Amino acid sequence: MTYQGVIFDLDGTLLDTEAMARRAGEHAFQTLGLDVPDGFFDSLVGVDFDTGMARIIARWPDLDTDRLNQLWYEKSRELHHQGIPQKPGVAQILDHIDRLNLPKAIATSSFRDSAQHKLQAAGLADRFDIVISVDCVNRAKPAPDPYLLAAERLGIAPTACLAFEDSETGAQSAFAAGMYVVLIPDTAPVSGQYAHHMAADLLAGAGKAGLI
């Protein structure tokens, strides 16, 4: 395959933050004395804040969501201050893309301030000029809008882009945009139905896609 650009999801793909978010969420629910059923946190992976909150409210209609979000946010920041690790192979694949002189972008379901904070903490803030956050689009993943906008900002046809994702929701978004999709599962199970390849890590995925 010949690609003209590469677009990455952020959480769980470039950064090892999904596990942190889950730990923070578990802390918040436990603090409020709530038991979370098995698989519930999996349903929140890859989705935007509003979608996630709608699923939480549907399960716990009387929940004090302001308190939940405060607890979740405080625990997340505590964990982030301990350091946000990159996923395996991030530095190598970004260096390889730069050597190929291919433009690259991020398409994330995080808000812009959160995305920039995490990129800075992980030492990646200077590696991406284009970051499409959820507040840049009218429709979040699994709609194709984030990936379509990323391709537009890169000045490349979506069908000429390679996308890396960790979640079913994100893969569906990139696939709907017409991109070649590599899915690298992180914390939540995936079917792979929206991926051209599945791999254990970024470098293996890049190899399967013919980027490396």
| 171-191 residue pLDDT tens | 999 999 999 999 999 989 999
Nearest of 91, 99, 88, 86 to residue 211 by alpha carbon: 99
129 falls in which pLDDT band (50, 70, 90)? confident
pLDDT score of 92 more than 80 = yes
pLDDT at 24: 95
Burial of 63-95, coded b for 16+ CB within 10 Å and e otherwise, reads: eeeeebeebbeebbeebbeeebeebebbeebbe
What is the arithmetic mean of pLDDT over 66-84? 94
Residues contacting residue 193 through CB under 8 Å, at least 6 positions apart: 168
**Separation between Cα atoms, residue 102 and residue 3, nearest integer Å:** 8
Residue 1 vs residue 43, higher pLDDT: 43
Q: Which amino acid is at 24?
A: A
Active-site entry in 9, 16, 166, 186 = 9
Q: Tell me: the pLDDT tens digits for 30-70?
A: 999 999 999 999 999 989 999 999 999 999 999 999 999 99
**Confidence at residue 187, expressed as pLDDT on a 0 to 100 scale:** 87
Q: How do the residues of the chain divide into helix, strand and coil, expressed in percent and rounded to 5? A: 45, 10, 40
Q: Where are the alpha helices (DSSP H) in the chain?
A: 18-31, 49-59, 65-81, 90-99, 112-121, 145-154, 168-176, 202-209
Name the percent of the chain lying above pLDDT 70.
100
Residue entry with tokens 């959480």: 11
CA distance 165 to 46: 9
Q: State yes or no: is 145 an active-site residue.
A: no
pTM above 0.85, yes or no: yes
* Rounded CA separation 105/129 (Å): 7
Strands 104-107 and 5-8: parallel
Res 69: pLDDT: 95
